[in-house]
Amino acid sequence: MVPRRAARFAFPMVAVLMASGLCACDINKFPRLDEQVKASWSEVLNQYQRRADLIPNLVETVKGYAHQEQQVLTQVTQARARATQMQLPADILSNPQAFHQFEQNQAALSGALGRLLAVSENYPTLKSDQNFLALQSQLEGTENRIAVARRDYILAVQQYNTALRTIPDRWIAAWLYPDLKVRETFTIPQQAQQAPQVRF
């Protein structure tokens, strides 16, 4: 009689201990980190879209002053088209090939914009145009926002990937969230890794 009564009380005690153990392991950590990564990624996309929206006005303004710079204008327009028309797969954050294609398209657009702004230095009347100055200022602000959004995304991915790869979080993820995958992060382009050569 006594063992049955003890068994009846033992089951709820074991359940309470297991629940306490799971709470101590922070089983909701991965959904939180995953949502943080997604929110940071959305901000990156938002800032890239802001930049893409500014480009047509900038191109039109430059076109009005620099007719002979058609090649640079075409490069910017084509780079914008590649960057904005890329179909992002649902798994882009865990798909290295698609992620790096996205990154390359955005880097190509950054390079084309840099060439366009460099060309504007040859046209003093363009550099003094109020519309151009306003667009240039907005573009510079957007580039800063892109850098901040990318940094925040990189930090969110670092936390997520670290938790996914370290023990005991790795065990919890494998047990409760087996479909989670390591997320991709931004890299520095090869040409940016090389030190600039100074010649006098």
Note the pLDDT of residue 89: 95
SS3 110: helix
Of 115, 54, 60, which Cα lies nearest the Cα of 84? 54
pLDDT, tens only, 26-53: 788 999 999 999 999 999 999 999 999 9
CA distances 47 to 7, 40, 188, Å, are 60, 11, 18
How many whole angstroms separate alpha carbon 156 and alpha carbon 185?
10
Architecture of the domain defined by 30-185: Up-down Bundle (1.20)
Note the pLDDT of residue 178: 93
Those residues whose C-beta lies under 8 Å from the C-beta of residue 105, and which sit 6 or more positions away, are 79, 82, 83, 86
Note the pLDDT of residue 24: 55
Note the pLDDT of residue 196: 46
C-alpha R_g of the chain: 26
Note the pLDDT of residue 148: 97
Using left for φ > 0, alpha for ψ between -120 and 50, and beta otherwise, residue 95 falls in beta
Sequential DSSP letters for 136-166: HHHHHHHHHHHHHHHHHHHHHHHHHHHHHHS
Of 58, 112, 102, which Cα lies nearest the Cα of 80? 112
* pLDDT less than 70: residues of the chain: 1-25, 189-200
